[in-house]
Structure 1
């Protein structure tokens, strides 16, 4: 049984319905309606199935297939009812061993039923103001860096957790592998080019994100990633939000950039995609240039700040972006980056090789809770 682990406040903050029963409760009807999601993580992945869930009177399972989801690795669902800090939930799942229960980024304590080995209970806080505020329950991603000017996260995708649209398409193995190389490369470029420092000085930030394959609150497909710019502290500010679509060899082939006030701007290989800071009236009210991104013929991305050398994420030695990526500075080889994400062990390893200066070579291991993404060391 699990103790408490807690994680992020960055975000506040589903396809077989379970059977929910009700029992008497002392919940006060005058309390506002609240929501809570939980994930039942199986000890071993197997054929998806649905447990029996018993709730106190006044609480129900939220209707809709996106709110009750079975995968090989787990089952998640959403509860709604009067706001309460402690709602007793009982689960009976014949023949299925449950490793842990996740709510937000916390492992909830499980209490086995001595008279029934298939039954257990736990205490669920039901206090979120909307279903969407339960995103962290479903998200399995880590935040290697959150500093002024830069917010970077890595999504940890497991084929046994797929949900929503990902259940009807082939597993995107190449894209899942490549996106982590490219996120690490983009982080190096944003720092070395001065983009992070410039954004921080304005109270702005760059945001690096991959994609999720298990979250029905966010149907995050097809495979893509982001090098986004918030002209403020978060996505409530005016934003340039590129969606960089990936093919099976990890190549970027389309940039659908959502821009506040303009909708989606579409860019393809060779099309310069300028991004601005929304300060002042220049460039049609979009402000000052922050950088220009251009998709490359090799599937990489040229990233050019307004001043100083241009950088690029480029294909690796095999001509794809699957096993590794190259990073260019002013057109010359600078770094080679390869990563491995062992999602079932909670370990991501980065190997950075200095091509211009071997002294820049470094290895890093990121250890995280494999079920929440919370970095442990």
Structure 2
């Protein structure tokens, strides 16, 4: 018997983002949906809310195949115009008819958690993947608010990620992992714009991702109000409930899938971090400072510092590495991205940029 095109074993919750052309809390307008299959707008906590910049709602529907469309009408609000509609990282075309904004979304083949709220800029090189969460105070939700917006911690997390990238390059550990098919190192910050992913309190991640995920070591390195690292809680991906807290000065070791040591790091007393490889030098990443960013050392010798500038309204990230030893190795990396999705539009790297900062 031919398998039915419909799968009805479970539901999916698909998020929709309505981007307003001006910021403010105006109240959620009347939203109506229509489809030739069972679906509904869910108003459970975290699935139906307004922020300064957006209105977010989720549609509960079966997981279906083929051409499955939902028609959506949003009553116009006199306080603002609808600037964009986003669903699953895509811009949805909408029309303005009879005081309503009208559009359709296709839910055919959508599985797994909805990715609509992701605003991630992802940079990859052999052995290293770095993700910048493009947080914005106009989209903060969940445990984050305008009154307690963690701007310093957001800046610190991004600086630590890029400083760690520089250290991992110099160590050669990323290239080693890539060349031997042992996985990669994943550098992440935290996000403030997703009710269903509180990502709280502020932290950043230095993850050793194994080739088949399960067994990956996933540290969460927490950051205080001044941007200093405080401690690390490491989880093991694919093994629920397994974690360990590492205090200041306690080394956290990464091992590969064959049990060999790959990398070790620890948070130190001044809020910075030290990293080393078996038989290698000890590198240090200083705690974040708003003036000079993050300094990098090798065996107590100063190597240089990383400074970031990120304009989330315009979608432009600038990364500056000032190399103390070799000015020709200094660089300015510019990344232009979509401010609502984080998708990269353009990248450029310029060397010998001293004097630009």
What's the TM-score, normalizing by structure 2?
A: 0.87
Q: Does 2:158 correspond to 1:175? A: no
Q: Which runs of 5+ in 2 are unaligned?
A: 347-357
Which residue does 2:243 correspond to in 1?
264
Q: Is the 8 A contact 1:79 1:126 kept in 2?
A: no
Q: How does 1:200-349 map to 2 (within 5 A)?
A: 200=178, 201-233=180-212, 236-259=213-236, 263-279=242-258, 287-315=259-287, 320=289, 323-349=292-318
Distance in 2 of aligned mates of 1:168 and 1:348:
22
The Cα of 1:168 is off from its aligned counterpart by 8.3
Which residue does 1:52 correspond to in 2?
30
Q: Which runs of 5+ in 1 are unaligned?
A: 1-27, 280-286
Distance in 1 of aligned mates of 2:283 and 2:86:
41
Which residue does 1:155 correspond to in 2?
133
The Cα of 1:321 is off from its aligned counterpart by 6.2
Distance in 2 of aligned mates of 1:68 and 1:52:
12
Which residue does 2:320 correspond to in 1?
351
The Cα of 1:329 is off from its aligned counterpart by 1.8
When the two chains are superposed, the root-mean-square deviation of aligned CA atoms in Å is 2.2
Distance in 2 of aligned mates of 1:342 and 1:139:
17
Q: Is the 8 A contact 1:100 1:108 kept in 2?
A: yes
Distance in 2 of aligned mates of 1:214 and 1:326:
29
Paired residue secondary structure (1:181): helix
**C-alpha offsets along residues 25-44 of structure 1, whole Å, 9 cap, x if unaligned?**
xxx99563554221001111
Task: Give the direction of change, closer, same or farther, for the CA distance of 1:229–1:76 in structure 2 (3 Å limit).
Answer: same
**C-alpha offsets along residues 187-228 of structure 1, whole Å, 9 cap, x if unaligned?**
111122111112211331111000000112211010000000
Q: How many residues align?
A: 332
Task: Give the direction of change, closer, same or farther, for the CA distance of 1:153–1:222 in structure 2 (3 Å limit).
Answer: same
**C-alpha offsets along residues 43-77 of structure 1, whole Å, 9 cap, x if unaligned?**
11112521211111532013411211211110111
Distance in 2 of aligned mates of 1:168 and 1:315:
25
Task: Give the direction of change, closer, same or farther, for the CA distance of 1:29–1:336 in structure 2 (3 Å limit).
Answer: closer
Q: Which has the higher helix share?
A: 1
Q: Does 2:84 correspond to 1:107? A: no
Q: How does 1:40-189 map to 2 (within 5 A)?
A: 40-57=18-35, 58-82=38-62, 83=64, 84-95=67-78, 96-113=80-97, 115-116=98-99, 119-127=100-108, 129=110, 132-134=112-114, 136-145=115-124, 147-167=125-145, 170-189=148-167
The Cα of 1:133 is off from its aligned counterpart by 2.3
Name whichever of 167-176 and 334-343 sits farther off. 167-176
What's the TM-score, normalizing by structure 1?
A: 0.83
Q: Is the 8 A contact 1:53 1:90 kept in 2?
A: yes
